[in-house]
Amino acid sequence: MIKKSILCAILFFLLYSLAVTKNPLKWWSVSQHQWQENMIKAQNFIYDQDSFKNVLIGSSLSHRIVTDSLPDTYSLAFSGQSIYDGLNILLNRKRNPKNVFIEMNVVFRPENKDYAASLFSPILFYSAYTFRSLRADKQPIAILGAIMNRKLIGPMLRGNAVSTLPNHELFNKMLKLQMADYSKIPPDKIIQDRFNLLETYVTTLTKRGIHIVFFEMPVDSSLENLAQAKLIRKLYYRKFPEKEFQYLPLPPGTYQTSDGIHLADDDALRYTRYFRSELKSIF
């Protein structure tokens, strides 16, 4: 029974691998949730041979930037994760970009070790490299779910798109939580550890001849000058002086967000346009 089960599992796997490899259709690449989306983004960057001039490192805040609209740019901005996850992935790739844009806002969130292990532990790394069917975007249940959504549930969704602009009550609650968070100063040890780690990454990238640009994502105007935001700016300028490193200025005007920190769709596009124009002016 054990032998039969294992042999059948291998057979299923080989057949599925064949189907995945032979099927170039785009809808055979599916993400179900945030973690998977982050994995797909990272695996595509690690395994694909494309080279990019610019790489964007960030959290869910800069994940809102519409990277497709930016020339020759790959985004390693991960929702729910930190800049250190993106920097770690970047260092594990042989082909270096010319410029790296690092988001300043979420600097105290630590690296996700589970995420790094899922990508780089020797067995998982080489098996996903060898078999496309083991990559995050090829999960059979995810693909089956996507087919069901397209064929059965999709038609029901027509005209029922979920807006990123929530109701005011929810927005105010979220903003209140963000204000509390932005008013807190983390313990000294965390501040030091994170900035030392960032410095190590930046030094390594600079030694590889990569040009570093820091940028701050716009957030709700009520958060911009709270204690944590001001401290982060001050520490960045102290650790990475403006004379040696380039900073992208915050765009003028106010931006609308869905929860205080994540840009709403229209303003994410507006910021992307600003980012693109700055990119042109810099390079």
Residues that bind another protein (CB under 8 A): 1-2, 4-9, 11-13, 16, 32-36, 39, 114-115, 117-118, 121, 123-124, 133-134, 138-142, 144-145, 148-149, 153, 156-157, 160-163, 166-167, 169-170, 173-174, 177
Which amino acid, residue 215? F
Name the residue nearer to another protein (CB basis): 25 or 161.
161
Paired tokens of 114: 């589970």
- Residue 211 burial by Cβ neighbours in a 10 Å radius (0-12, 13-18, 19+): middle
Name the residue nearer to another protein (CB basis): 110 or 253.
110
> Taking the complex as a whole, how short is the minimal distance between the CB of residue 241 and another protein, in angstroms?
37
> Taking the complex as a whole, how short is the minimal distance between the CB of residue 137 and another protein, in angstroms?
11
> Taking the complex as a whole, how short is the minimal distance between the CB of residue 145 and another protein, in angstroms?
5
> Taking the complex as a whole, how short is the minimal distance between the CB of residue 243 and another protein, in angstroms?
42
Name the residue nearer to another protein (CB basis): 170 or 282.
170
Name the residue nearer to another protein (CB basis): 14 or 91.
14
Ramachandran angles phi, psi of 209, nearest 5°? 85, 20
Q: Which run of H or E residues covers position 175? A: helix 168-183
Q: How far is CA 235 from CA 103, 107, 250, 280, 282, in A?
A: 14, 10, 17, 28, 24
> Taking the complex as a whole, how short is the minimal distance between the CB of residue 152 and another protein, in angstroms?
8
- Measured between its terminal Cα atoms, the distance across the chain in Å is 64
Name the residue nearer to another protein (CB basis): 72 or 259.
259
How many helices (H) and strands (E) would you count in the chain? 12, 5
> Taking the complex as a whole, how short is the minimal distance between the CB of residue 127 and another protein, in angstroms?
9
**Cβ neighbours around 65 below 10 Å, total:** 26
Name the residue nearer to another protein (CB basis): 30 or 268.
30
The conformational region for residue 252 under phi > 0 = left, psi -120 to 50 = alpha, else beta, is: beta
